[in-house]
Chain A
Amino acid sequence: MHPPISLIWFFLTAGVSIGLFTFTYFMEFLILFGKNTAMPRQAVIISLVISLILIGLGAIGASFHLGHKMRAWKAIKRFHTSWLSREAVFSGVYGFVLFLYGLAYYFNANPFIQHSLGILTFVLGWLSAFSTAMIYASNKFVLEWNTSLTVLYYLNMYLMLGSSAFLSLTYFYRPEFIPTYLFLTFLFVSLGLAFRIAFNIRQFIIPRPTINEALNLPHNRPIRVLDTGTTTNNYCTEEFYYKKGKDLLGSVLPVAYILTFIVPLFLIVYAWITGNYNYNFFKIAFASLVLGSFLERWCFFVEGNHVQNLFYGLYPEEGYRLRKGYMERKKTVIRL
């Protein structure tokens, strides 16, 4: 699939925004249970402002994906069936309620109002993240994405970005929480690595349809594409098969792995074991995570193969070879 930069941008901005808010509010929430986790006002306000700016920038960036930006509001109309509609509603309302929570916090509103708004923001943020993940995971025709792994992995990435961003706040405002957030970041990055590896391995074992299935013709005969009725690339071949990206994937994927997982894990484990809490480590770990996640999302799109590529002879064939025995046993009606 062709990777839309605007959607990758939305992933990063919304991810840091929702992740950061989650940990910021989590610390506030724990106070309710008598825990001494209050962050200084300044830290909370900085974090809320960053979250708000990021979700705003995310929404603006994502609108560049649309053909008609001025009609974007219409995307709320099919909330009952469309995950994209749900994403638009939840992320929009998340931004709005986040703003209200910020005001309530800033003006020291009644704690009940503060916490109600805080919990609501948290829920809306995660519903928005879940809806975004479901846009991909619910697509039956991109088999690489069509799995609950996509959702788990996606939500974990938000936690990964959020905890590593929050690490910087603890460094400046509550250093005694650094080990906790080092651990959380370590946990989420490690889980992310595990999910990523599982995602990659899965691509080799999913049973794939073949061109014979697409054309509903006998399974035991080879079919070749002679002509696709078009002399140049068209929307289908550009959108669903991104040749330049496929060629680059082999080089980009290892870099994405290194930047997203290996570099941050190395720095975090080093800081953790040696107790050397150098701010540069945290800065580099976060920057590496963001840059790596950008590349990782790019790979996620390019790795996705839409089944319509079968008609153009551009679908991976591994599945066919793996499934050959199965395919031949399948009862077929010979029609040609």
Chain B
Amino acid sequence: MAQFALVIDLNTCVGCHACATNCKEWNTQAAFGPLSDFDPYGKEPQGVWYNRIMTYEMGEFPNTQVFHLPKSCLHCQDAPCVPVCPTGASYKREQDGIVLVNYDDCIGCKLCSWSCPYGCREFDEADKVMKKCTLCIDRIYDESLPPEHRKPACVLTCPAKARFFGDIEDPNSEVYRVIKERNGFVLFSDAGTNPGNHYLPRTETKVHVDEHLLKHDNPLFLEVLRRHHVGG
């Protein structure tokens, strides 16, 4: 069975939020309608976003690495959000594995969001329905667009070319190839959801911190390092 999904390269993602911004732009104006905020221009904008970029730091100082993790609906192959939906508004398409919400059927009970281990669904306070990444289904099948534009908005906009889109079950596809070649992995692999979206791991860089180098570069930095070691 086909499974359309995104593959995101954590080596090249620079955390610029362009994908998230263009996602909101496209989905606010196109067939999927307003992607509203609770209070879009007020003091406390609380947003519905299909795609959020989280930034993490790993390792112990000074050997740390920062990486960015764009996270949108992973279009799980065993999506736990689908069977719990009492109305059938949440469903997984047979032909391409895309998980969608039918806004006309959703009663806004929020149970699907409780069943997603990734926090990839958000309730739209303005429309009172559950929303999430549609894999830009209104772009990828739009025959009026030139073929090279029949891709999700976030993929097209990524300035670092960190995002790939395609059928991860099709051995001829680019996504299939990069997942295999570069050891693609999924989030929460133990959760039993079998996500479609994959991530390409970062290659490890070992940093040897030389005291002289630090001192030469920035005398204060050594002080910071010393303080860190004495726990100050």
Contacts and interface: CB of A to CB of B under 8 A. Distances in A.
State yes or no: do A and B come from one complex: yes
B115 to A, nearest CB: 6
Contacts of B80: 140-141
Nearest to B103: A68
Contacts, number: 180
Given A77-B88, A84-B86, A229-B53, A240 B58 contact: no
Nearest to B89: A74
B194 to A, nearest CB: 13
B45 A232 contact: yes
Contacts of B33: none
Dominant secondary structure at the A interface: mixed
Dominant secondary structure at the B interface: loop
A66 B49 contact: no
A67 B126 CA distance: 10
B228 interface: no
B109 A66 contact: yes
A67 B17 contact: no
A144 B47 CA distance: 28
B153 interface: no
Contacts of B105: 71, 74, 77
Given A140-B80, A222-B59, A213 B122 contact: no
Contact of B114 (A69, A224, A306): A306
A157 B6 CA distance: 46
A308 B127 CA distance: 24
A231 B47 CA distance: 10
B117 A141 contact: yes
B107 A75 contact: yes
Given A213-B188, A227-B55, A234-B122, A335 B183 contact: yes
A82 B191 contact: no
A135 B118 CA distance: 19
Say which size band chain A's interface belongs to: 35 or more
Contacts of B110: 65, 239
A308 B58 contact: no
Given A235-B48, A334-B204, A335-B202, A78 B83 contact: yes
A234 B55 CA distance: 16
Contacts of B55: 225-229
A75 B110 CA distance: 12
B46 A222 contact: no
Name which of B46, B110, B119 has the most chain A CB atoms within 10 A of its CB: B119
Contact of B66 (A211, A226, A311): A226
Contacts of B122: 234-236
Interface string B87-103: 11100000000000000
Interface string B36-78: 0000000011111100111111111000011101010000000
Contacts of A235: 46, 48, 113, 122-123
Interface of A: 1, 65-69, 71-72, 74-78, 81-85, 88, 135, 139-142, 209, 211, 213-217, 221-236, 238-240, 306-309, 311-312, 334-336
Given A74-B89, A142-B114, A336-B58, 5 more contacts: A71-B87, A209-B188, A214-B117, A235-B123, A307-B188
20 contacts: A1-B114, A67-B130, A72-B107, A74-B86, A84-B109, A140-B117, A141-B116, A211-B56, A214-B188, A215-B69, A222-B59, A225-B55, A226-B56, A229-B55, A230-B47, A236-B119, A238-B46, A239-B113, A307-B191, A311-B71
